[in-house]
Amino acid sequence: MADKRIAKLAKILVNHSLSVRKGENVLIVSSSELAKPLVLEVYKEILLAGAHPLVSIKLEEAANIFFEYASETQLRHLPKTQLHEAKNMDCFVNIRAPLNKKALSNIDPQKAGTRSKALKPIGEEIVNNKRWVLTNFPTQALAQEADMSLSEYEDFLYRATNIDWDKVKKQEESLQKVLDKGKTVRIMGQDTDITLSIKGRKSIPCHGIRNMPDGEVFLSPIEDSAEGHIYYEMPAIYQGREVTGIRLRFKKGKVVEATATKNEKFLHTMLDTDRGARFLGELGIGTNYGIKKFSKDILFDEKIGGTVHLAVGRSYESAGGTNKSAIHWDMIKDLRQGGCIFIDGKPIQKNGKFLI
């Protein structure tokens, strides 16, 4: 029997996330053939919306062959047909369905970087400026990475995606109003007491338009304002490296002390990437209470209701940020047991539950 949750997710992607309109061209891209059930449901919903669907299903193994055998010229090649396709699409559905999460772990980073630069005119300059949404389809690889069985991961994913996003939007707009009027944020929790200025910065609510699942309100704090210390219970993952037990101390916005119980050297290396890497680029507050546990996937983890994430490095210009850096590393703080968020001295969240 077909899983009805797949059909519900497809409706959300097409009608809520993208608001597909009659006559539009919509590209469905899947990272593997494993997402076929969701691809077909999305295809159907696009047709019902009166739009024109196009499907592109990738072969995961092809990427390994490409990076092994492609010449420098081929790495730098910009596929004109793909460029033409992107220009003529109105919106995009991107579905991640990996067979193997480590499939590209041995690829030469320099080759990957060269290819990324070659494709920039398509991804960053065209697709990113149109309507798009990213989601996962449950696979054994994703389940294994999250330390779950496939059925457990399916339940985990659909609890996070198949929710009332209009209700989430209203809740986030209430939080947005509080943040936009606020001047100072104080976060307290286990081995944590940190204060940030947000005066004049505008927060951005996220309720399923680009990411699915979604569920956060974020902003870029004043760059030189962070004072205090923070401990991250959850692993911080960057470039495939897992760093645990991170403790950071801030002074005048800058990380002046940094320790970790695992991969501390990597932590220091990333913080020394450039001048901006030691300053905060983002404060995000998770609002998705359908996500209960850490999964090693930032698409989910930064949205966990009752958590905050502070990213070192590059800030968001759309949120008024000015910090420049080659990195943007989200680190997640759990506030569900003994944590509090204060705005201008008034508590707005306690033990992970909002008071507004």
- What's the domain range around 332? 166-354
Name the average pLDDT for the chain.
Answer: 95
Give yes or no for a contact between 60 and 67, defined as CB atoms under 8 angstroms apart.
Answer: no
- Within this chain, do residues 180 and 55 fall inside the same structural domain, yes or no? no
Q: Could you tell me if 215 and 343 lie in one domain?
A: yes
Domain count, the chain: 2
pLDDT-based confidence at residue 108 (cuts at 50, 70, 90) = confident
Does residue 29 surpass a pLDDT of 70? yes
Tell whether 190 and 153 lie within a shared domain. Answer: no
Domain identity same for 143 and 173: no
At 39-48, the pLDDT tens digits run 999 999 999 9
Is a pLDDT exceeding 80 seen at residue 13? yes
Can you give the pLDDT at residue 194?
A: 98
The CA dihedral of 140, 146, 152, 158, to the nearest 10 degrees, is -90
Q: According to the model, what pLDDT value does residue 155 have?
A: 97
Among 107, 138, 162, identify where a domain stops: 162
pLDDT at residue 349 is higher than 70 = yes
pLDDT band at 96 (very low <50, low <70, confident <90, very high): very high
Same domain, 187 and 139: no
In a shared domain, residues 261 and 322 = yes
pLDDT of residue 319: 87
Examine the pLDDT at 306 and tell me if it is beyond 70: yes
pLDDT at 114 over 70: yes
| Same domain, residue pair 102 and 195 | no
Out of 98-107, 156-165, 261-270, pick the least confident: 98-107
pLDDT for the residue 219: 97
Q: How confident is the model at residue 317 (pLDDT cuts 50, 70, 90)?
A: confident
What average pLDDT score do residues 139-149 get? 95
Model confidence at 109: pLDDT above 80: no
| CA-to-CA dists, residue 75 to 83, 84, 217, 291, angstroms | 16, 19, 38, 39
Residue 1 pLDDT greater than 80, yes or no: no
| Full-model pTM | 0.89
Predicted pLDDT at 299: 94
- Predicted confidence (pLDDT) at residue 239 exceeds the cutoff of 90: no
Q: What are phi and psi of 38, to 5 degrees?
A: -75, -40
User: Do 187 and 330 reside in the same domain of the chain?
Assistant: yes
pLDDT at 338 over 90: yes
Residue 92 has a pLDDT of 98
**Span 49-73, mean pLDDT?**
94
Task: Specify the CATH number for the domain of residue 131.
Answer: 3.40.1830.10
Distance of CA 80 to the CA centre of its chain: 29
Q: Are 9 and 94 contained in the same domain?
A: yes
Pick the residue with more confidence: 1 or 238?
238
What is the rounded average pLDDT of the residues 10-20? 98
Average pLDDT over every residue of 166-185: 97
Domain end residue (candidates: 101, 134, 162): 162
pLDDT digits (tens, 9 = 90+) for 187-234: 999 999 999 999 999 999 999 999 999 999 999 999 999 999 999 999
Q: How many residues does the chain have?
A: 356
Q: Give phi and psi for 62, each to the nearest 5.
A: -65, -35
Does residue 77 register a pLDDT over 80?
yes
DSSP-assigned states of every residue in 207-222: SSSSEES--EEEE---
Do 144 and 171 fall within a single domain?
no
For the CA atoms of 252, 306, 12, 170, what is the dihedral angle to 10 degrees? -80
pLDDT at 277: 96
Q: Are 253 and 223 in contact (CB under 8 A)?
A: yes
Q: Which of 119, 146, 162 is the last residue of a domain?
A: 162
State whether 188 and 331 are in the same domain: yes
Q: Are residues 170 and 316 in the same domain?
A: yes
pLDDT level of residue 308 (50, 70, 90 thresholds): very high
Q: What one-character-per-residue DSSP string does 248-280 give?
A: EEEETTEEEEEE-SB-HHHHHHHHTSSGGGGBE
